[in-house]
Amino acid sequence: MGESIIIMTIEEFQKKFGIIGKSKQIKDLVDITMQIAGSDISVLINGESGTGKEVFARAIHGFSGRASKKLVGVNCGAIPEGILESELFGHKKGSFTGAVDDRKGYFEIADGGTLFLDEIGEMPLTTQVKFLRALETKEFMRLGSETVTKVDIRVIAASNKDLQREVEAKRFRSDLFFRLKAVTLTIPPLRDRREDINELINHFVKSFCADNNIPIPQISIDAYEILTNYDWPGNIRELKNILETAIALNKDGVLTADAFLPLMADLKIEEETRNLPIHLNKSPESLDREMIYRALIEIKKDLIELKQAFQQKNDKFESHNGTDDNLSVTEIIPLEKVEKEAIIKALKYTKNNKRKAAGLLNISERTLYRKIEEYGID
């Protein structure tokens, strides 16, 4: 395929292919992507789950001379080991039990276009051998066939594993690794490019509201603060899911910190949400229900926590009052004042880091935000 002759700026490229971010890391990645897209060189995309590896794969394909052909995405980790080879290369009728007719594999389906292999590190060693040969020769044989099939494809691979370590551990072939890493793009996790978070928030909120024909909610300053400071172990995918869930549960058109904190605690975004041809068991509806269930659990935990804290303080007061007959009423300090002073001291000590302050106070971050608002602490 010839090189793309499309000319556009980095900003135009980002808008066209949905790459959100203004950080230097993203701008540099986009610049490299635009340079390599026009060739047929293999590309390896590294990054944690949810960082947007498939977005860059689509951008590479869409900016190449193959853009008019298919981009076929395959999640190697989602296909059982016993059938992965058949899925990739196809099979002839009768080649194994259950092969009731001839079937094309993803290599043939992607002919003329691009084959995107996500989670390449999950590919079994036996399949890696045949895959490397097909990658180098652009030819292969279907299972049960005696004839060679030739294809013209470009391969883009992605992994959330460190493939160099996988090679050292003998779980990934070194020759395939070096063949794939001709060009390597490393997508940084969201916690390492926090300046992009607000832009991503605005994009996902507008997109979700437009798709569902609902008004765009107002997002409070404290909500932006916790969203920016959260480490996002599930990266962009987690941010998108939390925003959509918070909007779906919202009733008054204003999203505060309280709308997000219950959704963040120990939240794990599963690989099933990946937008690839292999569909796993969980539906978007079941994921939504799971998120709502988690939110209700967190709210209940907070109520129990507040009740226990009040009971402990009340027990201490009654115990102290019963052992000192000379106690003056002027020596009794209201609980609200004690609590407010404790919060102020914790915030000063942690230099306004609310997560650390909540830890020192032995309360949840959501409770801390509520108390700050309740006592009018600036």
283-328 pLDDT per residue, tens = 455 455 455 545 555 555 565 566 666 666 666 555 555 555 555 5
Asked if 54 and 193 touch (Cβ cutoff 8 Å), the reply is no
The terminus-to-terminus CA distance of the chain in angstroms comes to 61
**Residue 40 clears pLDDT 90, i.e. is over it:** yes
Domains delineated in the chain:
10-188 (3.40.50.300), 191-284 (1.10.8.60), 333-378 (1.10.10.60)
Q: Quote the pLDDT of residue 334.
A: 75
Confidence of residue 281 (pLDDT cuts 50, 70, 90): very low
Q: Quote the pLDDT of residue 348.
A: 86
Please tell me whether residue 196 adopts helix, strand or coil conformation: helix
Helical segments of the chain, H only: 10-17, 24-36, 53-62, 81-89, 106-109, 125-137, 163-168, 174-180, 197-212, 221-229, 235-249, 257-264, 284-323, 335-349, 354-361, 365-375
Contacts of 276 (CB under 8 A, 6+ apart): 54, 73, 74, 75, 78, 118
Alpha-carbon span 63 to 158, nearest angstrom: 18
Range 289-328 burial, b when 16+ CB lie within 10 A, else e:
eebeebbeebeeebeeeeeebeeeeeeeeeeeeeeeeeee
Alpha-carbon span 355 to 344, nearest angstrom: 14
Q: What letter does residue 79 receive in the DSSP assignment?
A: S
Phi, psi of 45 (to 5 degrees): -110, 115
User: Can you state the angle between helices 235-249 and 197-212, rounded to 10 degrees?
Assistant: 50
Q: Quote the pLDDT of residue 330.
A: 57
**Residue 135 clears pLDDT 80, i.e. is over it:** yes
Q: What is the pLDDT of residues 181-224, one digit of tens each?
A: 889 999 999 999 999 999 999 999 999 999 999 999 999 999 99
Q: Quote the pLDDT of residue 2.
A: 46
Alpha-carbon span 92 to 349, nearest angstrom: 70
Q: What is the mean pLDDT of residues 34-41?
A: 94
Please tell me whether residue 116 adopts helix, strand or coil conformation: strand
**Residue 129 clears pLDDT 50, i.e. is over it:** yes
Largest CA distance in the chain: 101
Q: Please return the burial class of 55, using the count of CB atoms within 10 Å of its CB with bins 0-12, 13-18 and 19+.
A: middle
Q: Quote the pLDDT of residue 317.
A: 57
